[in-house]
Chain A
């Protein structure tokens, strides 16, 4: 066992020195990645899962330590909440490039970027002065570029309402690996609930009309109460503001297996796109609590029909952590319209918007309705000779069936475009 290192800290009493443990984590400093062989741009290579020079082919492995769900969690201390609320100050947008000496200005919250002068990749891990608000763990990309192409080709080829040339679209080559900031939340919660619960009661009564006993059912509302004692572990809330990224798509590519969390290494972000959170911790936790509330309501109701439900909910042992999760994102234009596609960088699960060939869609909808119309028309014509009514009736039925099918086709087409 290695002995813990200590360093002297301020003492409030003369004649007494105080030493506190030194964090095992090295001090966070911005890191510049340049090739030791040719001075070219070094970046993380998804194919080899190491860093590689795109000019001379130099490669080096990146050692990672898998920590999984044992990764450190933090409490909602007032200091952390205030720091998390403060956002990224203007000063933090300035970075020095160690390679060419340039003073660079990055977008707010940029964690990884390239120097525009010497092209060296930089990873800025000093965004926050508070350690817990710096990236400490992430799930590395498990999907290799080849695998991604196969997944995307398959996904684009699915469905028959989409334009035929979509599968050959340039969008296939536009997927960019992103490390997205996520908050994970864990908490114990206790809830006391009270509600009127519906009970269906069968009773026998005397029916004067039929002069016999008959049975009937009625709903009886009874006050009931109960308590819930449960917990949530590793509830994921994306740290990117929903106005900037489609949360519906992000939800659809979940889940992530957090057992794959590894300790943060700047090399893992070299040349990648990574942005610090812009949805503050408090707001993210509010969203997380929304899911816990839904869970509490679901457990309280638990299949029952209730009314006047009231719940008192208290939280305990609330913890959070700040992580990066891998996503491939593509934003492409088709027929002057913008579409977004996301791929889970760990599991390969895809979600996205796909353009619809509306000519094809309307033709299909028309084809659905046509048998009904035609049959009705025949019915009308043959009604002149007195045999048309059954045909007309069949036509109406076919039209209704056709309309239902057409409605679902329209909804599905619209969903693909506007997820």
Chain B
């Protein structure tokens, strides 16, 4: 085995450039979020709407770097409006003193389809590999029992794996290996779950259908390492298949990686938003394939305050009643009991009222810290 050579000769790196018009999204306008800086392609009537990703600022037309080359593949959303509404209904259930704006209907009506990008890499791998390949095999064992009728034996099969060294050469071409195109790629996948890439279809401009398209913020030139990792993983999986193994360990590949061809791959999410009591917007995301929802579910402090005030009022009334009773007659035993009950009611109302305020404060604090915007 020679020295490790990593080459990306003849590779075609796509360029992000400033463009006004794009052939693959004819009427698109290039806009950017003033808060998070993300660049989107939107239909002209959609500018000045809230950023579908951070939800903190409106989208404004801006000259930005965009990908002039059309995407190669796209995943179409599997969720329809009914599914979406159902997903949101599940999402908002269990929120104490729910913010009035936080309803499944509002979220469904305000949801926008957003396509976010990944890179697809095609490339040639040529080199030498070696690994410990795992071969499954079955061993026969037995479970035996001594009872009143003597010994009885029940045969059992156990699957075990034997690892053996294998090596060889590889000269293969791989297509459409997905590599992150966003810095926040891992976060999106972690929060919303992974996609079934088997369902990807060829990109056509119609497939976007007025959706928002998020532009990559990672340059392929910086991603050759990630592409190499993908190519090695793919080569490892194929070497395992070639060896007839079922698992592998310590796979290593020494060779060259050539003719990398980069294209874009679009993945769908639905983005929606609602406002809390203070008018602050919160973004809710739905993975458009699996339906997993992510976002903060804010409780209404106003509702909690109202309830607390009612409780405080009831408590106050109890206190006043107790004081009146004490003034009117402070010797009758029955009256003393009533005073005690009223004082306890006052204390109870006070505690419950304060607890509701604290509960909502704590809930909202947890929601904003646990579910920050993507």
A19/B166 in contact, CB under 8 A: yes
- Bound Cα distance A19, B146 (Å): 49
B147/A310 in contact, CB under 8 A: yes
Contacts of B362 in A (CB 8 A): none
Contacts of B171 in A (CB 8 A): 15-16
Flag A1-35 by CB within 8 Å of B: 1 or 0 each.
00010101111110111111100000000000000
Tell me, yes or no, whether A76 is within 8 Å of chain B by CB. Answer: yes
Residues of A within 8 A of B (CB): 4, 6, 8-13, 15-21, 75-79, 81, 289, 293, 296-297, 308-316, 318
Contacts of A318 in B (CB 8 A): 139, 141
What is the CB-to-nearest-CB distance from B147 to chain A, in angstroms, rounded to a whole number? 5
Closest to B245 in A: A18
Chain B stretch 223-255: residues in CB contact (< 8 A) with chain A = 238-239, 241-244
Interface band, chain B = 20 to 34
What is the CB-to-nearest-CB distance from B239 to chain A, in angstroms, rounded to a whole number? 6
Tell me, yes or no, whether B372 is within 8 Å of chain A by CB. Answer: no
A20/B244 in contact, CB under 8 A: no
What is the CB-to-nearest-CB distance from A415 to chain B, in angstroms, rounded to a whole number? 29
Tell me, yes or no, whether B160 is within 8 Å of chain A by CB. Answer: yes
Closest to B237 in A: A13
Flag B159-187 by CB within 8 Å of A: 1 or 0 each.
01000111111111000000000000000
What is the CB-to-nearest-CB distance from B66 to chain A, in angstroms, rounded to a whole number? 37
A313/B137 in contact, CB under 8 A: no
Closest to B244 in A: A12
- Bound Cα distance A318, B138 (Å): 13
Closest to A20 in B: B166
Contacts of B165 in A (CB 8 A): 4, 20-21
Contacts of B147 in A (CB 8 A): 310
B241/A13 in contact, CB under 8 A: yes
Contacts of B239 in A (CB 8 A): 13, 16, 18
B242/A11 in contact, CB under 8 A: yes
B169/A17 in contact, CB under 8 A: yes
The answer to whether A77 and B139 touch (CB under 8 A), given A11-B243, A15-B172, A20-B166, is yes
- Bound Cα distance A364, B242 (Å): 80
Contacts of B207 in A (CB 8 A): none
- Bound Cα distance A77, B161 (Å): 11
- Interface-centre pick from B160, B168, B172 (highest chain A CB count, 10 A): B168
Contacts of B238 in A (CB 8 A): 13, 16
B145/A16 in contact, CB under 8 A: no
The answer to whether A13 and B143 touch (CB under 8 A), given A19-B168, A20-B164, is no
Tell me, yes or no, whether B148 is within 8 Å of chain A by CB. Answer: yes
Chain B stretch 81-119: residues in CB contact (< 8 A) with chain A = none
Residues of B within 8 A of A (CB): 137-148, 151, 153, 157, 160, 164-172, 238-239, 241-244
The answer to whether A18 and B143 touch (CB under 8 A), given A6-B167, A13-B238, is no
B164/A21 in contact, CB under 8 A: yes
- Bound Cα distance A209, B207 (Å): 108
Contacts of B153 in A (CB 8 A): 289
B143/A314 in contact, CB under 8 A: yes
Contacts of A77 in B (CB 8 A): 137-140
What is the CB-to-nearest-CB distance from A70 to chain B, in angstroms, rounded to a whole number? 19
A18-B167, A75-B139, A312-B144 known, 11 other contacts, Cβ within 8 Å: A11-B243, A16-B170, A20-B165, A289-B142, A297-B146, A308-B148, A309-B146, A313-B144, A313-B145, A315-B142, A316-B141
- Bound Cα distance A183, B147 (Å): 29
A-B contacts, 30 listed (Cβ < 8 Å):
A4-B165, A11-B168, A12-B241, A12-B244, A13-B172, A13-B238, A16-B239, A16-B242, A17-B169, A17-B170, A18-B242, A18-B243, A19-B168, A20-B243, A76-B139, A76-B140, A77-B140, A78-B137, A78-B138, A78-B140, A78-B157, A293-B144, A297-B146, A309-B146, A310-B146, A313-B143, A313-B144, A313-B146, A315-B142, A318-B139
Closest to A296 in B: B146
- Bound Cα distance A318, B141 (Å): 8
Q: Select one of A79, A289, A311 contacting B146, CB under 8 A.
A: A311
What is the CB-to-nearest-CB distance from B175 to chain A, in angstroms, rounded to a whole number? 14
Q: Select one of A18, A79, A81, A309 contacting B168, CB under 8 A.
A: A18
Q: Select one of B140, B160, B166, B244 contacting A81, CB under 8 A.
A: B140
Contacts of A309 in B (CB 8 A): 146
Contacts of A79 in B (CB 8 A): 137
A293/B168 in contact, CB under 8 A: no
- Bound Cα distance A312, B146 (Å): 7
Contacts of B168 in A (CB 8 A): 8, 11, 16-19
The answer to whether A312 and B143 touch (CB under 8 A), given A12-B244, A75-B160, is yes
